[in-house]
């Protein structure tokens, strides 16, 4: 599969000098090396500390922050938790991306929904065979565990048997802490 949307975002972000990676369902497909389902949108993740740099980099884009499911114009204020979602649209061509802010401190990534869950920064993302950075699948699945939709469950089924033991155990432990009754836990045993 060509991963055209992912390649377009990679071209867009090519000169952004901060860490970024594809998130959501596309990250699952990049890990798998093939498109496993239809995607309606594309999300990237950045570190919260780099949000103003991203806004400056995408100066031809309009930005909206999401607060309690409401889309509000994002001025130049630094967005703190619980705000974590930004929608951007290119004023010139109408392209759209969703940006998810991730927490990092002292080379440790922390799950914003449950600060007890963390991972060393160097284990948070990987690169596809074509060099596209993506959020590792165990982290994507942890985000998808809340309010799991059919496509989220499909992503789990697609990837679960391809996770190495360390990734499976990390996800299982994280789910046991954060969503202890989640149906995926038994399938990770």
Average pLDDT over residues 31-49: 94
Average pLDDT over residues 165-180: 97
Sequence-distant (≥ 6) Cβ neighbours of residue 3 within 8 angstroms: 26, 29, 30, 35, 128, 130, 132
Which residues in the chain belong to E strands, given as ranges?
Answer: 20-23, 43-47, 61-67, 70-73, 85-90, 96-105, 108-110, 118-120, 125-127, 133-135
> Where are the domains positioned within the chain?
4-137
Above 80 in pLDDT, residue 1? Answer: no
- Residues 57-91 pLDDT 10s: 999 999 999 999 999 999 989 999 999 999 999 99
The CATH class given to the 4-137 domain equals alpha beta
Average pLDDT, the chain: 95
For residue 2, what pLDDT band results from cuts at 50, 70 and 90? low
pLDDT of residue 151: 94
């Amino acid at each position: 599969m060509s991963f055209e949307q992912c390649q377009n975002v990679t071209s867009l972000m090519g000169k952004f000098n901060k860490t970024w990676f594809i998130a959501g369902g596309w990250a699952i497909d990049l890990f798998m090396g093939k498109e496993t389902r239809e995607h309606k949108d594309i999300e990237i993740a950045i570190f919260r500390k780099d949000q103003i740099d991203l806004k400056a980099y995408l100066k031809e884009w309009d930005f909206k922050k999401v607060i309690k499911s409401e889309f509000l114009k994002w001025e130049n204020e630094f967005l703190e938790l619980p705000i974590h979602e930004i929608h951007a649209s290119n004023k010139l061509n109408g392209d759209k991306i969703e940006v998810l802010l991730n927490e990092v401190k002292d080379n440790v990534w922390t799950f914003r929904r449950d600060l007890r869950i963390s991972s060393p920064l160097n284990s948070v993302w990987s690169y596809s065979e074509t060099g596209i950075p993506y959020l590792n699948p165990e982290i994507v699945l942890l985000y998808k565990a809340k309010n799991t939709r059919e496509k989220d469950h499909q992503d789990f089924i697609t990837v679960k048997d391809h996770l190495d033991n360390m990734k499976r155990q990390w996800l299982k432990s994280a789910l046991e802490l954060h969503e202890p009754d989640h149906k995926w836990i038994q399938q990770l045993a």
